[in-house]
């Protein structure tokens, strides 16, 4: 099983700052430093889209603003894993059969991925599908989106998959 992020919304942050300052009279990036977010990270762009200078709140609470941010992955997995993933939510899937496995492009908004990851990192989910969603979750963490799932306990299973446990209340 292979999982790699291949596309992440990269907005024109300078244009966003300029328009918000001009129209609303403040910078939408004021809260980034206090939140420990680097303006160059993809998570920073998503975190300022609500224009309220509460970047951690924006990342920790699913909202309609997450529909304005998309992420795509390329994965190499068996066909049954793709079918299992398709049954978890509304992400877009394009796949092509290889010699033994499928290569698939998976795309969705942050809101769609949130729902798929929560469903996939459940003890009720098939272990291979859970392993794929766990690997996607780890990719989110690596590219700066740890806050999205920070309110859930991450319980590592013997097969290296992750079950998202009890809400920590963040």
Convert the pLDDT of each residue in 84-128 to its tens digit. 999 999 999 999 999 899 999 999 999 999 999 999 999 999 999
Which of 71, 140, 81, 142 shows the shortest CA–CA distance to 108? 71
pLDDT at 144: 85
Percent of the chain with pLDDT over 90: 87
**Cα 98 versus chain centre, distance:** 27
Q: Measuring CA to CA, how many Å separate 92 from each of 30, 72, 98, 116?
A: 34, 9, 19, 11
Across 58-70, average pLDDT: 96
The count of C-alpha atoms lying within 13 angstroms of the C-alpha of 118, restricted to the half-sphere facing its C-beta, is 16
For the chain, helix, strand, coil in percent to 5 are 45, 25, 30
The enclosing H or E element of 167 equals strand 162-167
Indicate if the pLDDT at residue 168 is higher than 90: no
The pTM score is 0.92
pLDDT at 145: 92
Across 74-90, average pLDDT: 95
Question: Which of helix, strand or coil describes residue 155?
Answer: strand
Enter the CATH code of domain 70-167: 3.30.70.3180
Average pLDDT, the chain: 94
Distance CA 17, CA 49 (A): 10
Strands 102-109, 2-8: pairing is unpaired
Indicate if the pLDDT at residue 42 is higher than 80: yes
Task: Break the chain into its structural domains and give their ranges.
Answer: 5-65, 70-167
Dump strand ranges (E) for the chain: 2-8, 70-77, 92-97, 102-109, 152-156, 162-167
Across 24-39, average pLDDT: 92
Tens digits of per-residue pLDDT, 137-150? Answer: 999 998 889 999 99
Query: What tokens appear for 84 in the block?
Result: 């299992």
Across 75-80, average pLDDT: 95
Percent of the chain with pLDDT over 70: 98
pLDDT at 169: 58
């Amino acid at each position: 099983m292979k999982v790699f992020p291949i596309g992440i919304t990269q907005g024109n942050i300078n244009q966003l700052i300029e328009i918000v300052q001009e129209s609303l009279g403040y910078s939408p990036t004021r809260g980034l430093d206090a939140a420990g977010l680097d303006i160059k990270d993809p998570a920073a762009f998503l975190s300022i889209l609500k224009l309220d200078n509460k970047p951690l709140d924006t990342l920790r609470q699913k909202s309609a603003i997450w529909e304005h941010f998309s992420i795509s992955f390329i994965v190499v997995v068996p066909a049954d894993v793709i079918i299992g993933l398709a049954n978890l939510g509304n992400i877009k899937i394009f796949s092509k059969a290889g010699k033994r496995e499928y290569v698939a492009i998976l795309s969705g908004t942050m809101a769609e991925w949130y729902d798929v990851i929560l469903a996939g990192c459940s003890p009720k989910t098939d272990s291979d599908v859970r392993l794929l969603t766990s690997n996607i979750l780890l990719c989110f963490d690596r590219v700066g989106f740890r806050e999205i799932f920070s309110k859930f306990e991450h319980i590592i299973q013997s097969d290296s998959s992750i079950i998202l446990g009890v809400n920590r209340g963040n």
